[in-house]
Amino acid sequence: MALLAVACLPPAWVRAEGSSAAPAASNPIEALIEQGTFAMRTSPDDSKRAADQALELLKKSPDPDLEIRARLLVCDYQSERDTAAAQREIAAATALLPQAKRQGLRAGILDCEGDSLENAGDNTKAMAQYTEAVSVAASHHDDEMLASSLYARGYLLGVMGDYASGLIELRRADNLFEKLKKPLHALTTLNAIATLYNRMGDFVQARHIYTRALAAQRQAGLPREQVVTLHNLGRVNENLRDWDAARAAFNECLEISRTINYSRGEAYAMRGLAAVSNATGDPEGALATLANAEELQKQIPDARLRAQIQLARGVALHKLQRLPESTTALESALVDFRQADSLSELNQVYTELASVYAETGDWRDAYARQLDAKNTSDKLLRNQLDQGFATLKVEFDTATQEKENAALKRQNEANERALEQARKVRRLQAIVLILAISLVLLLTLLAVFQHRSTLRMRMLAMTDELTRVPNRRAVLGRLDALLNRVEPDVCAILIIDIDFFKAINDQLGHSTGDEVLKVVAAAVRSAVSEPAFFGRLGGEEFLIVLPGYGMEQARATGESLCGRIRAIDTTSWFGEHRRITCSVGVSVSVPGRDTPSTMLQRADAALYSAKRSGRNCVRTESVSAPDLGAAAIADA
């Protein structure tokens, strides 16, 4: 089952430069800019007023560097309210660059352009701007601008599903903020890291981080930052289906936003409250709240906010059986989410649309949207699993290095103690032999224990926790070794996918889904014997490797496995009128040329052919001459 990513507020909400308090400056213009920079975390309107005052003074005392900084503050403010006004500030700041001493400020201009593009829903172009900003800041050794640009790029990488790269960028930004002695900026970066945990589905860890951050922001008196964190905390509780906690967070977010006249925060909070109303059986109340949110959203150039409001409207209208209106709202949301390539929201919209079309009797469109939802869910799940593993590897590598350093220190201390003990032993000749024998015995026991622990850890690392069969790493490792023998023989692979597994989870619960996976794994295990082997690829997919099998033998094996799975007794779950079925994709290797990747690609294509053919069947995918050439180039 796909894990839904949490949609959090964009980085423009949290990327104001400045220190933890408005510092004093000898230059009154610089003092106003620093005051405005700090005010971005407390009251955006105050920040705008300070920047405007600085620009008025700069007309009498021109300073290109200070004027660019002041215009970046106005741009940050306008990027959430008036795209045209933000573009005017970008143009004015760009015109000043040739006269500026601090060329790293160009990174700030690029960041503001990226903000505008991201608010418009064009994440690809926004990413290009942030990447150029990082390059500019690094080339000019401007750590302050570099930290800001890394934060922006790291956040957007997480939004686009590249969690591992996003985490690396955010950690780099965090280190720079610590170096620059900007603890509140480091706190903001920690919030962004929590957003990555949200999107990977670790909502409990994300909630813990947001709660800590909120306490620190309250203590520091940063209402604007509290708005951001409260909204994100509400989204986490929304995903955890803790509706009371979600409502409380969104209500507080709304109250603070109104206090500081922050329309964007109000609109996001209202969307959250409408989602809670939908979930708790009050669609009429949701529509009333969304009507207010829409009025505010018309003043805000934020495509993601517009799409989220339309999604919530579509859900409420669906619950009220106003199906044509629901369809219009959902299709409107679909356009924006497609442009932003936001997989989690796309999955929600496709699923909701499929249900609405089904209720209107439009079965063809309902099927098409359900298929879109399945494909999006599969893509999202694969991405979350792959990126989740990569992210864990980043964290594991860091933790491992720290543990190795600590272990070396302990080892040095142990060595010193051992030398002292040895000197004592030499003075006590009478017990030297006993101590030596004891030491040998102890080392032997430790070696045996370590060997057993290593084997046990290896077994755990190569075994799927739920089904207790070999996991993806184990089965692909054996397949790779099989294909890379000195004289490889032909072999076949089968990808088995349980049909309509998401429906089982949704209708009967995850515990039933887990039991189905265990029973299917046991059925496959009983049918596979050495030299054949199998394992779980992930989700509802299993991989079987058949050394020495040609296409016909492999297809026959697939048909046999389909029959074995259909024969599973399901009465305790489904009653008498439903069986477990599976779809199977088959591929046969070309000895000396194929890799696990090329074989999996062909088998996956065959699997999707089986699904398009109505499921509960076996399809094969053979390699063609162009495919062989491509495989040879890839392997080279």
CA-to-CA dists, residue 342 to 125, 161, 197, 333, angstroms:
15, 9, 16, 11
Give the DSSP H/E element, type plus range, for residue 543: strand 541-547
Residue, of 366 and 482, whose pLDDT is higher: 482
Q: What is the pLDDT of residue 630?
A: 39
Show the CA angle centred on residue 380, arms to residues 374 and 383, nearest 5°.
140
Of 22-26, 152-156, 581-585, the range with the highest mean pLDDT is 581-585
Report DSSP state, residue 431.
Answer: G
Q: What is the pLDDT of residue 418?
A: 66
Of 36-40, 95-99, 455-459, 620-624, the range with the highest mean pLDDT is 95-99
Q: What is the mean pLDDT of residues 340-354?
A: 80
Q: What is the pLDDT of residue 328?
A: 92
Place of tokens 């030297």: 432
Residue, of 394 and 106, whose pLDDT is higher: 106
Answer whether the bond into residue 531 is a cis peptide, omega within 30°. yes
Q: What is the pLDDT of residue 167?
A: 81
Pairing state between β 582-588 and 541-547: unpaired
CA-to-CA dists, residue 468 to 116, 403, 462, 522, 626, angstroms:
49, 30, 10, 9, 39
Active site residue 530: no
Q: What is the pLDDT of residue 325?
A: 92
User: CA 533, CA 46: separation in Å to the nearest integer?
Assistant: 67
Indicate left, alpha or beta for 148 from its phi (over 0: left) and psi (-120 to 50: alpha). Answer: alpha
Q: What is the pLDDT of residue 408?
A: 57
Q: What is the mean pLDDT of residues 524-538?
A: 92
Q: CB atoms < 10 A from the CB of 569, how many?
A: 9
Say yes or no to pLDDT of 240 above 60.
yes
Residue pLDDT, tens place only, 278-319: 999 999 999 999 999 888 888 877 788 888 899 999 999 999
Place of tokens 């887990």: 514
Helix (H, G, I), strand (E, B) or coil at 491: strand
Q: What is the mean pLDDT of residues 606-612?
A: 95
Residue pLDDT, tens place only, 266-281: 999 999 999 999 999 9
The structure tokens listed for 380 are 């999202």
Residue pLDDT, tens place only, 390-434: 555 455 444 444 445 455 566 666 667 767 776 776 777 667 677
Residue, of 428 and 175, whose pLDDT is higher: 175
Q: Which of 540, 541, 552, 621 is catalytic?
A: 540
Q: What is the mean pLDDT of residues 185-208?
A: 79
Q: What is the mean pLDDT of residues 601-612?
A: 95
Q: What is the pLDDT of residue 122?
A: 82
Q: What is the pLDDT of residue 395?
A: 52
For the chain, the first-to-last Cα distance in angstroms comes to 37
Q: What is the mean pLDDT of residues 530-553?
A: 94
CB 250 within 8 A of CB 276: yes
CB 524 within 8 A of CB 542: yes
User: CA 543, CA 606: separation in Å to the nearest integer?
Assistant: 13
**Percentage of the chain lying above the pLDDT 70 cut:** 83
